[in-house]
Amino acid sequence: NAGVTQTPKFQVLKTGQSMTLQCAQDMNHNSMYWYRQDPGMGLRLIYYSASEGTTDKGEVPNGYNVSRLNKREFSLRLESAAPSQTSVYFCASSESSGLSTDTQYFGPGTRLTVL
């Protein structure tokens, strides 16, 4: 039982390049999330998916797209990376499709640097 896994762990991009961050969970959770963590700003929600086939914008969605490929996988794509997207990205999941009481389970993060 690996929990939430993310790939890659580290990535360096040049401005304008694209890439996809992968996330998978093996806990049969319905909801999945993408956050970014920046110094002094805590975690900010980029996108979330309450169930397979649905996605919704979070607090900072500009410059990102997501795909809920199936119940297990939720990917985050940067189409044209910008230095402002340098951050640590966390994927998380929670059991239900819409209970705010749920605990969120986080992956280990992807450290992205955009030059």
Partner 1 sequence: AQSVTQLDSQVPVFEEAPVELRCNYSSSVSVYLFWYVQYPNQGLQLLLKYLSGSTLVESINGFEAEFNKSQTSFHLRKPSVHISDTAEYFCAVTRPGGYQKVTFGTGTKLQVIP
Residue 8 is encoded by which pair of tokens? Answer: 């890659």
Closest distance to partner 1 from the beta carbon of 115 (Å): 22
Binding mask 4-43 for partner 1 (x = CB under 8 A): x--------------------------x--------xxxx
Closest approach of partner 1 to the CB of residue 50, in Å: 6
Considering the complex, what minimum distance in angstroms separates the CB of residue 42 from partner 1? 4
Contact by Cβ (8 Å): 10, 40: no
Q: How big is the chain by its Cα radius of gyration, in Å? A: 13
Site for partner 1 contains 1 (CB under 8 A): no
Strands (E) across the chain are located at 4-7, 10-13, 19-25, 31-38, 42-49, 56-57, 64-68, 74-78, 87-94, 105-106, 110-114
* Interface contacts to partner 1, rule CB under 8 A: 4, 31, 40-45, 50, 58-59, 90, 92, 97-101, 103-109
